A and B are shown apart, each in its own frame.
Chain A
Amino acid sequence: MSVRHSLLGLLAQKPRYGYELCAGFTALVGGKENWDVKPAQIYTTLARMVESGLVIFNNLNGQQSKGEYTITPKGHYELMDWFRSSDIEEPHQDPFYLKLMLSLELDEVDASRLIVIQRAALYQELHRITEQRQALDPHNQLAQMMLMDKSAMHLEADLRWLDMIESRLDEVQRQPSPKPAMRPRGRPPSQSA
């Protein structure tokens, strides 16, 4: 979704060529390491937007492949709509959580080892980001640094969460694991019984 709106945002500044949009997007996200979007995906997205009338493609010299994209009023409207919407990520859909919960029920997987491994992975990632951030020049790459900070902070949050579940793993294990709720059948049990 955001790729589409980012492209609209770039076009809102000025009409651009396709390859210009590719480079612009990579610069915006702070490099390929951060968000590797293939040109093909960008062109597909652009094509869809042309179809829905959000942008117009102006052929240059009649060549099909080369031309400038311009935003339409409808496209502009859509962009503004995007700005007005709020961005809340979906934190509950966490694959690690699923792994962990399932491991509690399976004897062949050790839940605490899972945590250790996940943590090692998270730290490796955090270390990488920290290194990258160190390499940036705060005088003209501040925007990117802040993006790094965002990721670092997310990782930090994940790590703290890991610490937390690790320390309470025993308690969780002792509680009954989440089961699908039973649909009550027949007469509800009497209060006195």
Chain B
Amino acid sequence: MATIEVKNLSKVYGSGETKVTALDSVNVTIEQGQFVAVMGPSGCGKSTLLHLIGGLDRPTDGSVFIEGSDISKMSDKTLTELRRRKMGFIFQFFNLIPVLDAIENTALPLILDGVKPELARTKASEWLSRNKLDGRGKHRPDELSGGQQQRVAISRAMVSDPVIILADEPTGNLDSRSGDEIASTLRKIVTDWKRTVLMVTHDPRIAAYADRIIFLKDGKVVDDTLLNGSNGENAKRLKEKVESL
């Protein structure tokens, strides 16, 4: 059973004159432990795809299966619980609560889930130190750099042991060095913790950390490339593509 399975997914915004087809019957299957980058020109529907997979929005047509269950049919309540337990989100604008310190921000999903505060804090501190933020636990977001804030956000996304991590341009607001740090942190999450990461990015260097890139254009998948094969495999795959010319 695939971790994420997207079938004939379509999303249409508006109607009549202002109708925009953001996604047009997209089919994608993502296995556990894959690091997938979604790329494509601006407005091609990357964020829309991510939102639909994350259950943040409802598709116009088609369905999204997370570990075999169809989330497009779930109630808001079940969906909220699913997000809380199975998914972690990382946003472009870090999106930490400005009035909470790093540990509290990280512990949020656990606290929301009713985990005991002490336990939640312990887990949060563990993740912060895994993400090289030891000693920063008591700092509030405005006392942290962008890169550090994003690592707090990654810690928050990981703290509830989710199956899937969804990240929309997580390095969009960072310089290339901090971007690299974030990308390698995500890479580690996939390699060491066997999580599935789905990341939207515009940056080829960041995308290259992924195992697989899905290219979108005008709401359709135009290419789907595995990057992590041996040289031979890669060459073979390329050859297959060339055949299709």
Contacts and interface: CB of A to CB of B under 8 A. Distances in A.
Interface of A: 109-110, 113-114, 116-117, 119-121, 123-124, 126-131, 134, 152, 155-156, 159-160, 163, 167
B234 A124 contact: yes
Interface centre among B204, B213, B222, B242 (most CB of A within 10 A): B204
Nearest to A130: B208
Interface centre among A119, A120, A129, A159 (most CB of B within 10 A): A120
A152 B245 contact: no
A84 to B, nearest CB: 32
B121 interface: no
A159 B242 contact: no
A123 B205 contact: no
A127 B204 contact: no
Contacts, number: 63
B29 interface: no
Contacts of A134: 184, 187
Nearest to B203: A156
B227 interface: yes
A123 B238 contact: no
Contact of A116 (B209, B211, B223): B223
Contact of B245 (A110, A126, A128): A110
B215 interface: yes
Interface of A is mostly: helix
A116 B225 CA distance: 10
A123 B207 contact: yes
B241 A152 contact: no
A117 B245 contact: yes
B18 interface: no
Contacts of B211: 127
A113 B243 CA distance: 11
A128 B209 CA distance: 9
A139 to B, nearest CB: 16
Interface of B: 41, 184, 187, 204-205, 207-211, 213, 215, 222-223, 225, 227-229, 231, 234, 237-238, 241-242, 244-245
A123 B242 contact: no
Given A126-B204, A156-B204, A120 B241 contact: yes
B245 A123 contact: no
A120 B184 contact: no
B181 to A, nearest CB: 12
Nearest to B245: A113
A33 to B, nearest CB: 10
Contacts of B204: 123, 126, 155-156, 159-160
Contact of A127 (B41, B228, B237, B244): B228
21 contacts: A113-B241, A113-B244, A113-B245, A116-B215, A116-B222, A116-B241, A117-B245, A119-B225, A120-B223, A120-B238, A120-B241, A124-B238, A126-B204, A126-B205, A126-B227, A127-B228, A129-B208, A130-B209, A131-B228, A160-B204, A167-B41
Given A123-B227, A134-B187, 5 more contacts: A116-B241, A120-B237, A126-B205, A127-B209, A163-B41
B208 A117 contact: no
B241 A123 contact: no
A152 B209 CA distance: 12
7 smallest CB-CB distances across A and B, nearest first, come from A127-B227, A126-B208, A120-B225, A159-B204, A130-B208, A124-B234, A116-B223
A131 B213 CA distance: 15
Nearest to B228: A127
Contact of B241 (A117, A127, A163): A117
Nearest to B187: A134
B238 A117 contact: yes
A156 B241 CA distance: 22
